[in-house]
Amino acid sequence: MNYFILDDVLNEDDYAILKSQTSGKFETVDTGYDKLWLQKPNERINNLLTNKICARYRRKYTEICAFIRKTTPTHDTLFRVYADVNPKGDGVRADVAAVFYFSTDICTGTALFNHPTHGTKWEPGKQGVYTEDDGKWKPYFKCESVENRMFLYDSRYYHGRFPWTVLKDRHVLVKFLKEA
């Protein structure tokens, strides 16, 4: 499976509806290694995004989960390289992950990483989340945050936000899907 960048994903009205959610209330979710600020996306527009993903891959996918995630200069700033193989912790493995960006900020994005020991993607028996930087994780692809852009990739790929910290609030919609 490859990774793809889709630009101008939503029409102006749908984008405005979805972006308006970033000023709403976020729940704190404890992942065991960090506390994330998350919120459910607008259902209709979230379904539109799923349909765009299915069209790009020419396959039918069902959603495992989706959320809008908020990162600030002081919250959710830990080093983290991970694979989204079991996003809800319930044993259901995701096939595709997607990150939808709400604003253009050339200082942030999502990178795919390679490690000399762990490689580029998760396999059974490997660790899924790395929160300690041993200096050997090297990005081999970077998708910059551009307004109304969606980055699609195999959920087994090791990835993370780049850089680890942000200079201003960052909002992304994250989706995990499995092949139907």
Domain interval for residue 169: 4-179
**Of 108, 122, 118, residue with least CA distance to 138:** 118
Q: Provide the whole-model pTM.
A: 0.91
Burial class (CB within 10 angstroms; exposed 0-12, middle 13-18, buried 19+) of 166:
buried
The token pair that represents 130 in the structure block: 């790395």
Sequence-ordered alpha helix ranges (H) in 12-122 = 12-20, 43-57
The CATH number for 28's domain is: 2.60.120.620
Per-residue pLDDT at 1 = 56
Average pLDDT, consecutive stretches of 10 residues, N- to C-terminus, the chain (180 residues):
90 93 89 86 95 96 94 82 82 91 79 93 82 88 93 94 82 94
Per-residue pLDDT at 74 = 86
Angle of CA points 87, 163, 53, to nearest 5°: 40
Per-residue pLDDT at 176 = 95
Q: Tell me how many domains the chain contains.
A: 1
Burial class (CB within 10 angstroms; exposed 0-12, middle 13-18, buried 19+) of 135:
exposed
Per-residue pLDDT at 88 = 79
Contact 180, 62 (CB under 8 A): yes
Q: Is the peptide bond before 163 cis (omega within 30 degrees of 0)?
A: yes
